[in-house]
Amino acid sequence: MTETYRKQYIETYDQLLALWDDEFESYADYSAAMRQQFCRAETAHPIPSPQRGPVLLSPVSERLRRTRPESLPRFGPYRMVMEPPENLR
């Protein structure tokens, strides 16, 4: 994720949350559900921070720790960038 993309992502989401109250509620509900999952697993999870860049949030201690984007796990189609399917190896 480039710095430009990160800034645009945060600005866009800030605008959406300001425009649509139901989007803010939906985001808050989803955030709470994800936090519960990470708490159960006792795993820090990445969040985009407008001030600090990508950070890992510990769900237990609520400690924020800076991280490098390339050190974060990839999900869905982004995983293929690091782990190509068997037939492409």
Lowest mean pLDDT across 3-7, 10-14, 36-40, 76-80: 76-80
As given in the structure block, the two tokens for residue 13 are 């989401």
- pLDDT for 14 equals 86
List, edge to edge, every strand of the sheet that includes 64-66: 45-49, 53-57, 64-66
Residue 83 pLDDT grade (very low, low, confident, very high; cuts 50, 70, 90): low
**For the CA atoms of the chain, what is the radius of gyration?**
15
- The pLDDT tens digits of the residues spanning 29-71 come to 888 888 888 888 888 888 877 777 788 888 888 888 998 877 8
- pLDDT for 80 equals 59
